[in-house]
Amino acid sequence: MAAHSAVFSASRIINPLWGRHLGNAVKVFGTTLTSHRNKTLHVPPPAKYGGRHTVTLIPGDGIGPELLSHVREVFRFSCVPVDFEVVHVDSALEAEDDIENAITAIRRNGVALKGNIETKHTMPPSVKSRNNLLRTSLDLYANVMHCQSLPGVQTRHKNIDILIIRENTEGEYSSLEHESVSGVVECLKIITRSNSLRIAEYAFQLAREKGRRKVTAVHKANIMKLGDGLFLQCCREVASGYPDITFDSMIVDNTTMQLVSKPQQFDVMVMPNLYGNVVSNVCAGLVGGPGLVPGANYGRDYAVFETATRNTGKSVAGKNIANPTAMLLASCMMLDHLKLYSYANLIRNAVLTTMNETGLHTADLGGRGTTSEVVQSIMRVIQSKGQFTADI
């Protein structure tokens, strides 16, 4: 904790002298440096008092607020012992106070559930993406997404089961840009050995835990020889320590081609930040769209859950047609993280039953159900399981 605040105050001192760019560099490298020193420090216990957990809730923009209110509705109905601390982040403000408050709240509680915060183009380029700021400040280095074909959803490809692990803090998303000459902009992509080793280690550990057989590293090392070359080398080093898991690598453009023709060949995929963005969105599209897949961002000390494709969904906001599945499944992942497994399974089964068996689909899946109808159906399934529930 103290180390993190030291990094922040250091960057604030440096900022007026050297401008935001070096300050950002301190933040990017700083969290890496301090995380090594923190290894021996005591990890704070989860925010649990009287058997109830406290979780930070960031509604965000677009469909975020309505989906998260549905999550709260379902949780209240199922008597889940989780209380939400709501923190609003206004994307129209230039100051970073809102997001700083949110980050502090997440540090306090350890776990968060969030909607996507919009990045307005009308703001000057010095206003960075709030979502990115949150991920880098909390060092949420692994973004995990599990894409699975659901039997009740019609898609062009069947039997997809891919686990995507994406490096979440560096790479192309370092937000280090400058215009050295007028009309020429340089953007830096940073790849570090320690972060690449960390994400590769995470990927192989997770693969082993879930009983997966193959890990594929996605890269573009034929063009970015040093950067992606380093990433690939780190993956190979870690792979040598897991002889039970097959490791291979694939160039990103070939990967996308293979994904749209034969996605069943992939098992676990690990990759740097930008390719992760592309591949995760392609996979989400293959299994049925942005409304179905939950995503999780894990750091050493914190975990933040959201929808996998991180859309604000402005075009469907406020119309009661958004698909609540992704956010509800993300909240189940959060319950798993809090070790409330029975509640997680209860809600997850209810969601999947509604999706696959009753066939009640929202507009994005070609159905005509509204969000509230789907949520009501889920709550009916939960009630029918005979658990203790609150009044509807």
Contact residues for another protein, defined by CB under 8 A: 29, 119, 121, 125-129, 132, 156-157, 172-173, 175, 177-179, 183-194, 220, 223-227, 230, 252-254, 256-261, 274-275, 277-278, 280-282, 284-286, 289-290, 309-311
Strands 52-58 and 111-114, bridge-based pairing: parallel
In angstroms, give the least distance from the CB of 275 to another protein.
8
In angstroms, give the least distance from the CB of 284 to another protein.
6
In angstroms, give the least distance from the CB of 276 to another protein.
10
Q: What is the widest separation between alpha-carbon atoms in the chain?
A: 68
Q: Compute, in degrees rounded to 10, the torsion defined by CA atoms 322, 326, 328, 331.
A: -140
CA distance 56 to 322: 23
In angstroms, give the least distance from the CB of 270 to another protein.
17
User: CA angle, 149 as apex, 309 and 215 as ends, to 5°?
Assistant: 75
In angstroms, give the least distance from the CB of 120 to another protein.
9
In angstroms, give the least distance from the CB of 58 to another protein.
17
Q: Which is nearer to another protein, 110 or 289 (CB)?
A: 289
CA distance 294 to 183: 40
Q: Which is nearer to another protein, 48 or 128 (CB)?
A: 128
Q: Which is nearer to another protein, 82 or 191 (CB)?
A: 191
CA distance 191 to 32: 12
Q: Which is nearer to another protein, 63 or 379 (CB)?
A: 63
Q: Which is nearer to another protein, 95 or 184 (CB)?
A: 184
CA distance 360 to 377: 8
Report the chain's C-alpha Rg in angstroms: 21
Which residues contact residue 211 at a Cβ distance below 8 angstroms, ignoring those fewer than 6 apart? none
Which residues contact residue 334 at a Cβ distance below 8 angstroms, ignoring those fewer than 6 apart? 55, 111, 113, 296, 303, 305
Q: Which is nearer to another protein, 82 or 329 (CB)?
A: 329
